[in-house]
Amino acid sequence: MKKVTPISVFACLFISVLLSAISTSAQNIKPDADNAGLTLPTGFAALKVADNVGRTRHIAVNKQGAIYAKLERLDNGKGIVVLKDTDGDGRAETKTSFANYIGTGIAIKGNYLYAASNKEVFKYALNENGDIVDENAAATIVTGLIDKGQHNSKSITLDNAGNIYVNIGAPSNACQEKDRTKGSMGMMPCPILDSAGGIWQFKVDQFNQSYANGVRYATGLRNVVGLDWNNQLNQLFVTQHGRDMLNNLYPEIYDTTLSAELPSETMYAINKGDNAGWPYVYYDHSKGKKMMAPEYGGDGKKTVEDKFINPAMAFPAHMAPNGLLFYTGNQFPARYKNGAFIAFHGSWNRSPLPQEGYYVVFVPYENGKPTGKWEVFANGFSGKTVVKNPRDAQHRPCGLAEGPDGSLYVSDDVKGTIYRIMYQK
Amino acid sequence: MQRIILAVVVGMISFSAVTAQTNNKLVAASIARGKTVYLQRCMVCHQADGGGVPKLNAPLDASTAVNGSDISKLVKYIVKGLNDRIEIDGEFYANAMPAADDLKDQQIADVLTFIRSNWSNKAGPVTLTQVKQIRSKLK
């Protein structure tokens, strides 16, 4: 019999601790038999972490794997739901809620949770278990942002230098004198851009900041809902909802098919001071050009070559990119690392053509640049082969988050289903 | 005398049957014209199934506002548009509705008649006279 050294005993203990941790990781979690109704690439599986959570917009996952979901409609008077898997089966056993405001944006950075209403951004301290220290001790870091109903959701992300980025959507389609009205010209310059239609930067450690304290970090962005700080490139990326109703407003230039396919939905790599050109231009992915908007003298042919930034990636029109996430985990195969996932909420203004979107897309990156090709990663949220009318969609993907084990979480703001997507060899 | 009464009654019945028939034809024609207006001006937002877009554009199908007896609001929305976030049947809708004040009174009557009788809606037709009356008060 070999002599058992204290070191080998220690090593055995260490290994068994490791094993117990692994036992609750994605490899051993049983997915739903139907993969939660989703169609996924080979090797991936999915389950419903929770159902009927409320209208969950964006989500954040802490280091312990608990999910914080921001609701756009109060549920029992509360606007943030906390979901915990207490037995390691991947499904949430406990659901608690707090905060008395609705909204979209939510993020965790360091030991703080940040959450946005449609006008403000709040900050909560987290303890060593990733729990909120005091639900009633929300610090208001940003206040007084524009909320006029249209495009009022505020999305947030944080960099590594103490800044938070907030989207302020333009309460307008194309900055016409009369919104969405045929024959009404675009205002020049567009006055909306002073306080909306861009990304504003604020400090995470200052309170009650508003326009006077913030920096208009990027402008000419009609309505950004997905935004994420890319830690590999140390750069802000955003996804914009392009303008609507080209056919209704300019039927002599755009027929219903062109209007369904234009303009592109766009993803931008943002540097401080960038201008993406809304409302003066829109992007046409079939031409690979920035086009002059008809409200500002465009005729469907006039391009704008300079002045405004080009998108890093363009997608078919109206699909509504609501969630953006750069994947940093090791669970998925290597090609997914540092690539972008985008949750497309799904279109409404492509009729009479069928609607499009209602899925999660993957954009592969190589050497810090998108390869130019995107692919549908997770489909089937709507429960329909073809969505003719938006109300037929059973679920609509909205928010994305990465778990500590590299699982991808997706929220749905119709029924409040939280999906977990895992790679299982 | 009895014969005369009978003849009058029969005559009245057949007359009202004819007017009902004519009326049905008029309503059917109004619905057909209204559909054209709907496809061109309304469908992009309110959708082919009248279901609208959750949280953005209000549904017209099965809507209490659309099916109600008070049509003055409906005429006003079409003529004046709507810029405020609106609550209908407990839901809020965020998008602005453009004013369609270029539509003629007859077109407004037609499109409302189409909307109120289409999908699961079973409300009565809207007449040119009603639209004229409501619209004159709006100006």
Q: Say if CB A356 and CB A262 are below 8 A apart.
A: no
Report yes or no: B91 at the A interface, CB cutoff 8 Å.
no
Q: If you classify domain B2-44+67-82+96-138 with CATH, what class do you get?
A: mainly alpha
Is residue A294 situated within a structural domain?
Answer: no
Helix (H) or strand (E) holding B3: helix B2-37
Q: Which residues pair with A79 in a beta bridge?
A: none
CB pairs under 8 A between A and B: 68
- Which segments of A2-121 does DSSP mark as H helices, in order? 6-23
Domain CATH number, residue A232: 2.120.10.30
Dist CA A235 CA A162 (whole Å): 14
| Alpha-carbon distance B4 to nearest alpha carbon in chain A (angstroms) | 59
Q: Say if CB A36 and CB A47 are below 8 A apart.
A: yes
Dist CA A181 CA A275 (whole Å): 25
Q: Say if CB A256 and CB A291 are below 8 A apart.
A: no
Report residue B12's pLDDT band, with 50, 70 and 90 as the boundaries. low
Q: Residue B77: phi, psi to the nearest 5?
A: -60, -40
Looking at residue A174, its pLDDT comes to 98
Point out the residue among A151, A180, A414 whose CB comes nearest to the CB of B98. Answer: A180
Which residues of chain B make contact with A118, given a CB cutoff of 8 A? none
Sequence-distant (6+) residues with CB within 8 A of B116 are B66, B67, B123, B124, B125, B126
Report yes or no: B54 at the A interface, CB cutoff 8 Å.
yes
CB pair distance less than 8 Å for A391 and B53: yes
Looking at residue A17, its pLDDT comes to 42
Ranges of residues in chain A whose predicted pLDDT is under 50: 1-23
Distance from the Cα of residue B82 to its chain's centroid: 18
Is residue A16 situated within a structural domain?
Answer: no
Q: Say if CB A390 and CB A380 are below 8 A apart.
A: no
Q: For residue A340, give the nearest of A380, A310, A374 by alpha carbon.
A: A374
Looking at residue B16, its pLDDT comes to 67
Which residue in this structure is represented by tokens 């029109």? Answer: A317
As a residue count, chain B comes to 139
Dist CA A341 CA A321 (whole Å): 10
Report yes or no: B62 at the A interface, CB cutoff 8 Å.
no
Report residue B139's pLDDT band, with 50, 70 and 90 as the boundaries. confident
Q: For an interface test with B, give the residue of A179, A389, A392 to mutate (most B CBs within 10 A).
A: A389
The residue ranges of every structural domain in chain B are 2-44+67-82+96-138
Is residue A122 situated within a structural domain?
Answer: yes
Looking at residue A74, its pLDDT comes to 95
As a residue count, chain A comes to 425
How do residues B42-101 score in pLDDT, each as one tens digit? 998 999 999 999 989 999 999 998 999 889 999 999 999 988 777 888 888 988 899 999
Which residues of chain B make contact with A178, given a CB cutoff of 8 A? 81, 98-99
**Interior/surface letters A267-295, b for 16+ CB within 10 angstroms, e for the rest:** bbbbeeebbbbbbbbbbbbeeebbbbbbb
Report yes or no: B120 at the A interface, CB cutoff 8 Å.
no
Dist CA A261 CA A333 (whole Å): 33
Point out the residue among A181, A248, A389 whose CB comes nearest to the CB of B44. Answer: A248
Looking at residue A9, its pLDDT comes to 45
Tokens of A133: 């220290």
Looking at residue B86, its pLDDT comes to 77
| Alpha-carbon distance A115 to nearest alpha carbon in chain B (angstroms) | 21
Looking at residue B9, its pLDDT comes to 64
Which residues of chain B make contact with A318, given a CB cutoff of 8 A? none
Domain containing A402 equals 35-281+308-423
Q: For an interface test with B, give the residue of A119, A176, A248, A392 to mutate (most B CBs within 10 A).
A: A248
Point out the residue among A151, A245, A390 whose CB comes nearest to the CB of B47. Answer: A390
Dist CA A414 CA A52 (whole Å): 9
CB A129: neighbour CB atoms within 10 A?
Answer: 9
| Alpha-carbon distance B120 to nearest alpha carbon in chain A (angstroms) | 15
Q: What is the DSSP letter of A175?
A: -
How do residues A303-349 score in pLDDT, each as one tens digit? 999 889 999 999 999 999 999 999 999 999 999 999 999 999 999 98
CB pair distance less than 8 Å for B43 and A389: no
Report yes or no: B83 at the A interface, CB cutoff 8 Å.
yes
Cis bond upstream, residue A189 (ω within 30): yes
Domain count of the fold of chain A: 1
Is residue A272 situated within a structural domain?
Answer: yes
Question: Sheet holding A418-423: strands in order across?
Answer: A44-50, A418-423, A408-412, A397-402
How do residues A193-246 score in pLDDT, each as one tens digit? 999 999 999 999 999 999 999 999 999 999 999 999 999 999 999 999 999 999
Report yes or no: A386 at the B interface, CB cutoff 8 Å.
no
Tokens of A210: 């508003």
CB pair distance less than 8 Å for A180 and B95: yes
Report yes or no: A391 at the B interface, CB cutoff 8 Å.
yes
